[in-house]
């Protein structure tokens, strides 16, 4: 099946810093999503981004489908951004997304 | 619009028992997927139901089963619980159309097996 690699696995920031999270896929994907898992375990949709760039406040995402990667940018990070960020996407004719192992982000005040 | 509702949120069982978890999807969503999340294995796909039919299945033993009702609500059952079944069980619903499958997750059911 498809392999999803996320980097870095862990990230520690001071409040106000910017960061870039990366997601690489071993095969072409569609329906790519980014999620944030909060400390209580809830997975929150951030972006549905099969290709191109989208922005939502301090967050933006870019997917380059032809090169099989996606990036999540977090600007002016806040302590509430802490948690684990996952990317996921299915490949081929499947609807079922495969998840990466996540990037664990800690933002210190 | 109500989100995805999972019940119960927390439960403790002992080895050998069985457990049933419930998931109510977003109104209008006909697909419900279940995932198991553990620190060691990450998020692993269990199964997906669409219009009361299991359409996809992950690589889990037969002790894990599920079903979907005509109102799209879904249940999953784990029989003969093992310590390794302790995990966060996440349900996601989606409206599949136009080639898109955008998942929305519930808050999860955290199962502890003693």
User: A35: which 2 tokens?
Assistant: 């999620």
User: B95: which 2 tokens?
Assistant: 């409206």
- Could you tell me what percent of chain A has a pLDDT over 70? 98
Q: Quick one: pLDDT at residue A108?
A: 96
Q: Quick one: pLDDT at residue A27?
A: 87
Q: CB distance from B96 to chain A under 8 Å?
A: yes
Mean per-residue pLDDT of chain B = 93
User: In Å, how far is A77's CA from the nearest CA of chain B?
Assistant: 24
Nearest CA in chain A to B34: A96
**pLDDT surpassing 70 at residue B1:** no
SS3 B83: helix
Asked if B90 lies within 8 A of A94 by C-beta distance, the reply is no
Mean per-residue pLDDT of chain A = 93
- Could you tell me what percent of chain B has a pLDDT over 70? 96
**What is the mean pLDDT of the segment spanning B67-91?**
97
SS3 B1: coil
Chain A residues within 8 Å of chain B (Cβ atoms) = 30-31, 33, 35, 40-45, 48, 50, 86, 88, 90, 94-102
Nearest CA in chain B to A32: B102
Contacts of A63 in chain B (CB under 8 A): none
Asked if A95 lies within 8 A of B88 by C-beta distance, the reply is no
| pLDDT tens column, A65-107 | 899 999 999 999 999 999 999 999 877 677 788 999 999 999 9
**pLDDT surpassing 70 at residue B97:** no
H/E stretch holding B101 reads: strand B100-105
**pLDDT surpassing 90 at residue B61:** yes
Q: Quick one: pLDDT at residue B99?
A: 67
Closest CA to A107 of A86, A78, A84, A85: A78
Asked if A97 lies within 8 A of B48 by C-beta distance, the reply is no
Q: CB distance from B86 to chain A under 8 Å?
A: no
| pLDDT tens column, A15-65 | 999 999 999 999 888 789 999 999 889 999 999 999 999 999 999 999 998
Q: Quick one: pLDDT at residue A54?
A: 97
For residues B32 and B48, is the Cβ–Cβ distance under 8 A?
Answer: yes
A91 CB-side CA count, 13 A = 14
């Amino acid at each position: 099946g498809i392999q999803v690699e996320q980097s870095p696995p862990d990230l520690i920031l001071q409040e106000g810093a910017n960061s870039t999270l990366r997601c690489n896929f071993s095969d072409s994907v569609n329906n790519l999503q980014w999620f944030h898992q909060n400390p209580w375990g809830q997975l929150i949709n951030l972006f549905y981004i099969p290709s191109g760039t989208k922005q939502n406040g301090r967050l933006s995402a870019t997917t380059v489908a032809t090169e099989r990667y996606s990036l999540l940018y977090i600007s002016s990070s806040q302590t509430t951004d802490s948690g684990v960020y996952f990317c996921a996407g299915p490949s081929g004719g499947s609807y079922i997304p495969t998840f990466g192992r996540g990037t664990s982000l800690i933002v210190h005040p | 619009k109500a989100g995805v509702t999972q019940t119960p949120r927390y439960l403790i069982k002992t080895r050998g028992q069985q457990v049933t978890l419930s998931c109510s999807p977003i109104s209008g969503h006909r697909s419900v997927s279940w995932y198991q999340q553990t620190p060691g294995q990450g998020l692993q796909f269990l199964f997906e139901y669409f219009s009361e039919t299991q359409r996809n299945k992950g690589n889990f033993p037969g002790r894990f089963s599920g079903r979907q009702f005509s109102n799209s609500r879904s249940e999953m059952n784990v029989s003969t619980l093992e310590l390794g079944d302790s995990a966060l069980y996440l349900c996601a619903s989606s409206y599949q159309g136009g080639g898109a499958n955008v998942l929305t997750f519930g808050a999860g059911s955290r199962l502890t097996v003693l």
